[in-house]
Amino acid sequence: MSTGTDSAKHASLDDINSNSFDPDHYMNLMVHKSNLEGLLQRHVKLATEIKNLDTDLQMLVYENYNKFISATDTIKRMKSNIFGMETNMEQHLEKIMSVQSRSDSVNTSLFDKREHIEKLHPTCNLLRKVQFIYDLPDRLNKCIKSEAYVDAVRLYTGAMPILMAYGDSSFQDCKLASEKAMATIVKNLHRKQRKLFSNSESIQKRAEATMLLKQLEYPAKECSFKNWLLCTEKFFEKNLIYLNQHVCLQFQ
C-alpha cells in the first residue's frame, strides 16, 4: 500500500504539468536517469516549449487587449451613468413628492365643492327634463312645419311618462299644447294612409305613417299593420292589372 502511494507521489512530483511538480526532485531524477546529451536535448525541448507558451500568451493578450480596453471603458461609463441616474432619480422623486403634496392640497380644498356639485347634479338633470317638457310644444310645431313626423313621435313618446305623471298639475298647459300638436300630426299621418291608392305618396312614406301611428297606438283599429298590408296588396293588384292591360294593348 505504501509503495503504491509513494510511486503516485513521485509521479506527481515528476509531472511537469502537475500542480505538485517539484523542480529540484525533477532535476535530480533527470541527472540520475539521463546522460549529458539527454540533458541537453531535454533542455532544448523545454526551452522551445517555454518559448511557444510565451508566444501563445502574448498573442492571447494582444487579441483580447481591445476587448479589455472596451470593457474597461464600458464599466467606467456605466459607473458614470449610474451616478447620474441616482441624481436624476432623486430630483424626480422630489418633484413627484411636490406634485403629490399639491394634489392633496387641491383635493382637500375642493372636497366641499365636489360634494356640493354632486348634490346639484340630480337637480340639473331634473331641470333639463323640465326644460324639455316646456320646449316640447314648440318642437312639435317645428316638426309639423318640416313634416319631421319621426322626430315628433320620438319626442312625444319620450315625454309621455312625465306628462302622464304630472300633466294634470305642473305641466298642464304643456300637455294640452303637446296634445293639440300631436292631434295635428296624427291627422296628417292618417291623411298619408288614406292616400294609399294615390301616386302622390310613396309606399315608403305610407309605411312610415302606419308605423308611427302604431307607435302612438292611435287609433289601433285604423292603423292596424294587418289592414295596411291588405291595402297595399290591393294597391299592387290594381297596378298589376293596369300593367297587364297596357302590355296586351301594345302587342295587339
**125-153 pLDDT, tens per residue?**
878 888 888 888 899 899 889 888 888 88
pLDDT band at 1 (very low <50, low <70, confident <90, very high): very low
If you average pLDDT over residues 39-64, what whole number do you get?
A: 85
- Does residue 199 lie within any of the structural domains? yes
If you average pLDDT over residues 152-163, what whole number do you get?
A: 86
d(CA 192, CA 206): 6
d(CA 121, CA 117): 6
Q: What mean pLDDT value characterizes the chain?
A: 76
Position 203 scores a pLDDT of: 65
pLDDT digits (tens, 9 = 90+) for 188-214: 888 876 665 455 456 677 777 778 888
Position 13 scores a pLDDT of: 54
If you average pLDDT over residues 221-250, what whole number do you get?
A: 60
Q: Is the pTM of this model over 0.85?
A: no
pLDDT digits (tens, 9 = 90+) for 4-15: 455 445 555 556
- Does residue 39 lie within any of the structural domains? no
Position 4 scores a pLDDT of: 47
- Does residue 50 lie within any of the structural domains? no
pLDDT of 234 > 80? The answer is no
Position 82 scores a pLDDT of: 72
* Residue numbers of the domain that contains 183: 125-251
- Does residue 104 lie within any of the structural domains? no
Tell me the CATH number at 131: 1.20.58
Position 248 scores a pLDDT of: 62
User: Considering its fold, how many domains does the chain have in total?
Assistant: 1
Position 227 scores a pLDDT of: 57
- Does residue 240 lie within any of the structural domains? yes
- Does residue 173 lie within any of the structural domains? yes
Position 251 scores a pLDDT of: 56
If you average pLDDT over residues 5-31, what whole number do you get?
A: 68
pLDDT of 59 > 80? The answer is yes
Position 226 scores a pLDDT of: 58
If you average pLDDT over residues 158-170, what whole number do you get?
A: 79
- Does residue 43 lie within any of the structural domains? no
pLDDT of 158 > 60? The answer is yes
Share of the chain above pLDDT 90, in %: 1
pLDDT digits (tens, 9 = 90+) for 63-115: 788 788 888 888 888 877 776 677 778 888 888 988 988 888 888 777 777 77
- Does residue 213 lie within any of the structural domains? yes
